[in-house]
Amino acid sequence: MGSITTRDGTQLYYKDWGSGQPIVFSHGWPLTSDSWESQMFFLASQGYRAIAHDRRGHGRSSQPWDGNDMDTYADDLAELIEALDLRDAILFGFSTGGGEVARYIGRHGTGRLAKAGLIAAVPPKMVLSEDNPLGTPIEAFDGIRAGSVADRSQLYKDIASGPFFGFNRPGAKVSQGLIDSFWMQGMMAGHKSAYDCIKAFSETDFREDLKKFDIPTLILHGDDDQIVPIKASGLESAKLVKDAKLLVYPGAPHGLTDTHKEQVNADLLAFIKS
């Protein structure tokens, strides 16, 4: 585990497990690199080098007032990849992290990459607009912002105990441990950073970024994702990324890297080896 200092003086915490071909993970909102620990542990145990950072403003990284936007997130990722001199790397992004991966490729290309994966990811564009009729109305994101200002601790508990893991579905097997982990990671984020990130993940348009993908790409999504609905995200991204491999998990929620971790781990490994 270590840290790098970016050009604007932000310290980014990262963990670096194992050795072999590097696999870099970008996490979702409002979480930390810990949210990838099941996949990192599994793949590092399979002979790969698993690397994940806490996005600026999240987890153990600095909490700058500015720079909580997708361009800066992508540039931070580029600085990490360059600082560690990673080559032939595979990038996996979950939710907001999928946007980070897309914008990284859009801004920095694929010269250091071998493959990429978008897991329950926010691209192409989340918010409803005239040119994005499948999107989610802005009022939903305004509600998240209002909840964050009013009582973000309770907001995170409500998200985790309800739609994120699908625990609000009939017959769901609720894990208090997953709820507590989500809440703990969320509360490690800076208030301003997490607030700004809502706009970053919901309003950024990644369509032109996705068109620049020229490496094998996996798109993995649950068809019962209540946070990032598959019709406006995974299915649309698969149309924009040339020759993307699309995997749809029937009945899976947004937080499938935890609820379906054995299946996710197996599918990521198969994609890496393919």
Residue 93's CATH number: 3.40.50.1820
| pLDDT digits 0-9 by tens, 165-176 | 999 999 999 999
Residue 149 has pLDDT above 90, yes or no: yes
Cα distances (angstroms) measured from residue 11 to each of 30, 40, 76, 152, 185:
18, 22, 10, 24, 18
Number of domains in the chain: 1
Q: Which of 27, 58, 254, 260 is catalytic?
A: 254
pLDDT score at 69: 98
| pLDDT digits 0-9 by tens, 65-78 | 999 999 999 999 99
Tokens at 57, concatenated: 């403003």
Q: How confident is the model at residue 197 (pLDDT cuts 50, 70, 90)?
A: very high
Q: How confident is the model at residue 189 (pLDDT cuts 50, 70, 90)?
A: very high
pLDDT score at 37: 97
Q: Is 205 labeled as catalytic in the residue annotation?
A: no
Q: Which of 209, 225, 258, 267 is catalytic?
A: 225
Q: Is 214 labeled as catalytic in the residue annotation?
A: no
Q: Is 53 labeled as catalytic in the residue annotation?
A: no
pLDDT score at 251: 98
Neighbours of 215 (CB within 10 A): 16
pLDDT score at 176: 98
Closest CA to 20 of 79, 90, 122: 90
Closest CA to 120 of 231, 13, 234: 234
Residue 10 has pLDDT above 80, yes or no: yes
Question: For tokens 């068109």, what's the residue?
Answer: 211
Cα distances (angstroms) measured from residue 122 to each of 85, 88, 234:
28, 25, 8
Q: What's the sign of the alpha-carbon dihedral 218, 223, 227, 231?
A: positive
pLDDT score at 71: 98
Cα distances (angstroms) measured from residue 110 to each of 104, 135, 146, 216:
9, 28, 38, 11
Between CA 50 and CA 25 the distance in angstroms is 8
Q: Which of 35, 95, 148, 202 is catalytic?
A: 95
| pLDDT digits 0-9 by tens, 234-263 | 999 999 999 999 999 999 999 999 999 999
Q: Encode burial over 194-214: b for 16+ CB neighbours within 10 A, e otherwise.
A: bbbbbebbbbbebbebbebbe
| pLDDT digits 0-9 by tens, 226-237 | 999 999 999 999
Tokens at 167, concatenated: 């625990």
pLDDT score at 255: 98
| pLDDT digits 0-9 by tens, 16-46 | 999 999 999 999 999 999 999 999 999 999 9
Domain that holds residue 175: 2-273
